[in-house]
Structure 1
Amino acid sequence: MRAPEVALGIDVGGTKTRWMIAHDGVLRADHQVPTVAWRHASYSDEDCLRLKRLVEATFDGVTPSRVVMGANGCNDEQALRRCETALRDVTGWNIRVVNDAELLAAAGHGRGISLIAGTGSIAVARDRAGTLISAGGWGWLIGDDGGGAGLVRRALQEALAAEDIGMPDRQLSQALMESLAIPRLLRANERLAEAPSAASLACHVPAIFEVAARGSRIAGRVLEDGASSLADLVGRLHRRGAPGPVFAGGGLLESQARFFSHVSRLIRERYGLIVFLVRDPPVVGAVKLACERGVAPGTRECSPSIGLAS
C-alpha cells in the first residue's frame, strides 16, 4: 500500500505556534503551543531542535513529506533563507520558510498584500520579481503601531500625559488600572517590567476598546491613529508596486469588527484597494502551501480540498 503524502504546515507567531498535519490533502491533526515553549533565540539550532521534537511527537512516527512554515520575525529574503537552512539542517525536513504574514494570502486563496494586526502589526507582499517586501513588523519595543501592543503602549502614554497636565481621562485611566491590577497609573511601567513581552502588553487592549465604546475621547483617538497606522503599512507596500487586494487577519482585526471596518475603509479611500478579512487561521495557508509542494505564496491558488477527516 502506498504511504500517504504527509504535509506539515506551521505558523510561528509572536505569541503561539500552531501546526496542522494533512495526509493526502485531508487534515489529520491540529496542535498549538506557546512560542516561548521552544523559541528562546532567533531560530537557533537549539530552537529548531526543540520545535522538531514538539512537532514530531504529534506525528506517531510518520515523517512529513513536505513542510511549509510561516516564520514570525523573518521579514526579508536573507532572514527567510537563514531560518530555512537552519531548520533543514537540524530537522532533515523538506521545508520551505515564508514570512508568517504571507500565510494569510494563501489561506485566502489569493495573491496580494497580507496585513496582520494581532499582538503586533506587519504588512508583507511579494513584488513583481517575487521578492518579499515588508512594512512594519519592527517589534513591540519600537513598533507594532496599530497592533495590540502598540495600542496599549500609546493609550498608556496618552493617559499619563493627560494626568500630567491635570486633565485626566478618568474612564481610560480607571480601565487601564483595573486591567493592570495597579492602584495608580504611574505604576504601569513597574507592573509591565515584571515580565516584559509583547503578549503581556497586548493583553490589556480590550480595556481600550471597551472605554472607547463608552465615549473615552483619548481611547477613541488612540484607535483612530492605530487604524491609520495599519492603513499606512499597506500604503507603503502599494507604493513599492505590491498588487492588491489586501488580505487582513490577526486576532485584533478578527475580534474587533468596527476597528476592522475602519481600517478597511481607510485603505479603500486612500489606495483604492479591496480588503478581505481572512477568518481561517494562517496555519491553514501553511498546510495548503505544503500540500502544493511549497509553491511561492500567490503564484497559483492552493488546493481547496483540505478538510477535516471524518
Structure 2
Amino acid sequence: MTDVIVGLDAGGTKLGVRVAALDGSLIADVSLPAEDWSASPAGDAARWLIRRLNRVVPEGDRVVAVGVGAQGCDTVEHCGELAHELGALGYPASVVNDAALLVPAAGLTTGIGVIAGTGSIAVGGDATGETLFAGGWGWVIGDDGGAPAVVREATIAALAANDDGEPDDGLLRALLLAFGVDSAPALARAVNDTPTPENWGPRAIAVFAAADAGSALAVGVVERAADHLAHLVDQLVRRGAVGETVVTAGSVIANQPRLSAALSERIAAAHPSISIVPLADAPVAGGIELARRLTAP
C-alpha cells in the first residue's frame, strides 16, 4: 500500500484530479467531466468528489490528504463544511474556492488569483489569513470575463445595435454563424431557448474572433470584460488582500491574449507594484500543494 495525496480542481465543466506520492512523484493526472458538479449541499458534493477520486487513485493506495479547489465554495464557511464532510468520509481535506488554487499552484504563499473560464472570480487573503472573495456571482447575473457572460454581453450589444438600425460591424454575423441561425430574432431565440453555460460558453471564441477582425462592438465587450476583472482585483486590494502577484488562469484568459493583455494593462496602471503571472501549471497543482501542507509535520 502506498500513501498518496490528491489534488482536485472542480470547475464548471471539468474536474482535474492529480495524485502524487508523498515524495512528490506523479502517479496520475487526469480530467473528468463535471457538468453536474455542485458545491451544495456539502454532503452530496463530498460524495460526488470521492466517487470520482476513487476512479483515479490506484487500487490499494491510501489517500492521506486531499486538497480541493471547488467552484461554488464562495465563503470560508462553505469551504469548511465541505472539508468537514470529506473528513467524515475518511479523507482529511483542505478546501478552498477554485480560484484560490492559483496562488499555491504558482508556488506562492500570498497573492490574488483571478479565474476567467466558465465563470469569473478573484480570491485573495488578508494579513490575518482570512480569505477574501470578489465576483463569482454566476454567469446569469455576473461573471463578466467568463465565456458565457462574454456571449451574453455580445448578444445584447449586437441585438441592440440591430434594433438601432446600425449596420452590422461583424459581431452579429459572427454570432449568427456561431449559433447556426440566420437572423437577429433567431439569434435571440437560440440564446434564450437554451440558457446554459454549455450552449453559450463555447461561442465566446466567435466574439474574440470578431474583435480581432475589427468589430468595434466585440472590442467593447472584451474591454468591459477586462474592466470587470480588473475591478475584482481593485476590490480585494482595497479590502486588504496581501501579496505582490496576481496569478491568472481559466480557459478564456489563458486562450484569449486580447483579454489577458487588456487585464494586465489595467492592473499595471492601477497597481504598479503588482506583477501579473499567467499560471504555467494546471490549477490542480495548487490542490496537491494544499494536500502536502496537511501532511507536513
- Aligned pairs for 1:1-310 (under 5 A) are 3-24=1-22, 25-37=24-36, 39=37, 42-59=40-57, 60-89=59-88, 91-110=89-108, 111-243=110-242, 244-272=244-272, 273-293=274-294
2 CA distance for matches of 1:257 and 1:85?
39
AA at the equivalent of 2:111? G
Instruction: Check conservation: 2:43, 2:82, Cα contact below 8 A.
Output: no
Contact 2:171 2:215 in 1 (8 A): yes
| Shift in CA distance, 288/257, structure 1 to aligned 2, threshold 3 Å | same
Distance 2:39 2:186 in 1: 30
Deviations along 1:135-155, one digit per CA (max 9) or x if unpaired, are: 100001100112212211111
Q: Distance in 2 between matches of 1:10 and 1:193?
A: 33
Q: 1:40 offset after TM fit, Å?
A: 5.3
Structure 2 Cα separation of the partners of residues 194 and 207 of structure 1: 19
SS of equivalent to 1:20: strand
Provide the aligned length of Structure 1 versus Structure 2.
Answer: 291
Q: Distance in 2 between matches of 1:48 and 1:121?
A: 23
TM-score by structure 1 length? 0.89
Aligned to 1:299: none
Rounded to whole Å, the distance in 2 between the matches of 1:65 and 1:98 is 18
TM-score (normalised: structure 2): 0.92
Cα separation, 1, equivalents of 2:199 and 2:39: 18
Distance 1:19 1:41 in 2: 16
Q: In structure 2, how many angstroms separate the alpha carbons of the residues matched to 1:212 and 1:285?
A: 33
Identity %: 35
State the distance in 2 between where 1:96 and 1:13 align: 16
Deviations 1:99-156 (A, max 9, x none): 1101111111111111111121100001111111111000011001122122111110
**Residue pair 2:117, 2:147 contacting (<8 A) in 1 also:** yes
Q: What's the CA shift for 1:223? A: 0.8
Residues 251, 86 of structure 1: alpha-carbon distance in 2 compared, 3 angstrom cutoff: same
Q: Flag structure 1 segments of 5+ consecutive residues without an equivalent.
A: 296-310
Distance 1:200 1:294, change over 3 A: farther
Would you say the 8 A contact 1:17–1:34 is kept in 2? yes
Give structure 2 stretches of 5+ with no counterpart: none
Q: Distance in 1 between matches of 2:169 and 2:265?
A: 30
* Structure-2 separation of matches of 1:41 and 1:189: 31
